Amino acid sequence: MHEYSVACEIAALVKQTALNARVTKITLAVGALSGIFTESLVMYLDFVLPDMGMNNALVETRDVPATFSCACGVEYVAENIATVCPACGAFTRTIKAGQDCIVESIEVDDD
Ligand SMILES: [Zn+2]
């Protein structure tokens, strides 16, 4: 059910941003570490968006891979959470990308 609350948050944000314009397309960037199942999120948005008056909004998603920054200075994309630094083999790292689910862009029809 986590995706349902995220879908509601996204719909509210889009509505707030678009004001009275008709939303035609929403592009979401879903991080690999966000804990969100893209399919579930899109499914809930299909329910939530019409409820909020956005009937014909197309939802597109883009997967953002998990990117880490190692203490040795190397940045790498991790296949999974257990992937270590390819340069030095260390597991200590900071997350650079892939932690969030964000609304990347909104397209509206002004007519
Ligand atoms: Zn390293």
The domains located in the chain, with CATH, are 2-65+99-109 (3.30.2320.50)
Distance from C-alpha of 59 to C-alpha of 76, rounded to nearest angstrom: 29
Distance of CA 18 to the CA centre of its chain: 18
Q: How far is the CA of 75 from the centre of ligand 1 (A)?
A: 8
What tens-digit pLDDT sequence spans the chain (111 residues)? 689 999 999 999 999 999 889 999 999 999 999 999 999 999 999 999 999 999 989 999 999 999 999 999 999 998 877 889 999 999 999 999 999 999 999 999 976
Distance from C-alpha of 52 to C-alpha of 26, rounded to nearest angstrom: 14
Residues with CB under 5 A from ligand 1 (ion): 70, 72, 74, 85, 87-88, 90
